């Protein structure tokens, strides 16, 4: 497995010619089973697999969230090796951005203004900035993203449509732990009690999935969650995975989505309806 620590090394390798279809899995490291499953999909669907590891500063609004983001490069490299990754690209932010990292404002309607965008101002500007640079540098045929970050998938699809027609975006199923908590690199920051409280997110989504009155159930679950101590709800809603526009017509919904904070850790989850 090759490891490239600078953009110029990666570009040189690409210029030497990669044989076959190239699949790309972008990550911020702290790899878990969700990432491993993305790597397995990439392995199945491509001849050459590139994994990027970069904690991207421009997508963090909160300095402490950036500072506390887990960094486990040694462990990540072992997982990458095990999953048959051909090349790991792990530059510094300054190297990839070619200077001090910054991001332009992106306005693509509801997908970049509502839900996650509303609670994490500037987040998608940073995601678009870094993924745009990664797509340009790696120039892959396919790129794989997890559906846990469902709104991010919508944003990346728009980025590809507007600026990177060469890349096919493949979205992969959200992966849950045995207790049904959606896998996330941030989960390791949850206390034991916090983890138990966090399970309320997937419980609510399941209740909405099973209900014939989705609007009513969302209202019910919102009050139930609001009453739970230690759980700070940002939103619980039904959405269409493409438009992300806020509306009360369950016919247009593809998913129920939820975001909340537990132990100062922001958690998101969703379920296909
Ligand atoms: O989903 C993530 O881990 C990040 O948002 C991404 C796509 C790697 C960009 O930094």
125: its two tokens: 């500007």
The pLDDT tens digits along the chain (273 residues) read: 999 999 999 999 999 988 899 999 999 999 999 999 999 999 999 999 999 999 999 999 988 889 989 999 999 999 999 999 999 999 999 999 999 999 999 999 999 999 999 999 999 999 999 999 999 999 999 999 999 999 999 999 999 999 999 999 999 999 999 999 999 999 999 999 999 999 999 999 999 999 999 999 999 999 999 999 999 999 999 999 999 988 889 999 999 999 999 999 999 999 999
Per the annotation, the verdict on 255 as an active-site residue is no
Sheet holding 22-27, edge to edge: 2-4, 87-89, 48-53, 22-27, 142-146, 168-172
Give the pLDDT confidence score for residue 19 in this predicted structure: 84
Best residue among 71, 149, 151, 185 to mutate for probing ligand 1's pocket (most ligand atoms within 8 Å of CB) is: 149
Fold of 186-268: 3.30.1300
Give the pLDDT confidence score for residue 64 in this predicted structure: 87
Residue 28 alpha carbon to ligand 1 centre in Å: 6
Give the pLDDT confidence score for residue 173 in this predicted structure: 96
Residues with CB under 6 A from ligand 1: 26-28, 56, 59, 127, 130-131, 149, 152
- What CATH architecture does domain 2-172 belong to? 3-Layer(aba) Sandwich (3.40)
Give dist(CA 155, CA 170) in Å, integer.
13
Select which of 35, 123, 164, 255 is catalytic: 35
**Which residues of the chain are in CATH 3.30.1300.10 domains?**
186-268
Strands 48-53 and 22-27: parallel
Give the pLDDT confidence score for residue 23 in this predicted structure: 98
Is the Cβ–Cβ distance between 36 and 103 less than 8 Å?
Answer: no
Give the pLDDT confidence score for residue 137 in this predicted structure: 97
Give the pLDDT confidence score for residue 94 in this predicted structure: 98
pTM: 0.96
Burial track 43-70 (b if 16+ CB lie within 10 A, e otherwise) = beebebbbbbbbbbbbbbeeeebeeebb
Nearest Cα residue to atom 2 of ligand 1: 27
Give the pLDDT confidence score for residue 220 in this predicted structure: 98
**Which residues of the chain are in CATH 3.40.50.620 domains?**
2-172
Q: Which residues contact 196 (CB under 8 A, 6 or more apart)?
A: none
């Amino acid at each position: 497995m090759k490891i490239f620590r600078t953009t110029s090394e990666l570009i040189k390798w690409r210029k030497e010619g990669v044989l076959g279809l190239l699949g790309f899995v972008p990550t911020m490291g702290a790899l878990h089973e969700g990432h491993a499953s993305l790597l397995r999909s990439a392995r199945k669907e491509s001849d050459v697999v590139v994994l990027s590891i970069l904690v991207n500063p421009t997508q963090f609004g909160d300095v402490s969230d950036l500072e506390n983001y887990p960094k486990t490069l040694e462990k990540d490299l072992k997982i990458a090796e095990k999953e048959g990754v051909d090349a790991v690209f792990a530059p510094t932010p300054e190297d990839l951005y070619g200077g001090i990292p910054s991001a332009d404002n992106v306005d693509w309607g509801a997908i970049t203004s509502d839900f996650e965008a509303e609670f994490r101002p500037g987040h998608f500007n940073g995601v678009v900035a870094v993924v745009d640079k990664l797509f340009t540098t790696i120039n892959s045929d396919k790129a794989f993203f997890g559906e846990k970050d469902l709104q991010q998938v919508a944003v990346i699809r728009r980025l590809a449509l507007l600026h990177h027609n060469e890349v096919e975006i493949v979205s992969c199923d959200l992966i849950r732990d045995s207790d049904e908590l959606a896998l996330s690199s941030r989960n390791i920051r949850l206390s034991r009690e916090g983890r138990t409280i966090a399970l309320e997110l997937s419980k609510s989504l399941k209740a909405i999935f099973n209900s014939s009155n989705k609007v009513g159930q969302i209202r019910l679950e919102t009050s139930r969650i609001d009453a739970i101590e230690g759980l700070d709800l940002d939103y619980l809603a039904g959405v269409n995975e493409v438009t992300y526009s806020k509306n009360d017509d369950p016919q247009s919904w593809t998913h129920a989505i939820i975001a909340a904070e537990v132990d100062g850790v922001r958690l998101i989850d969703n379920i296909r309806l």
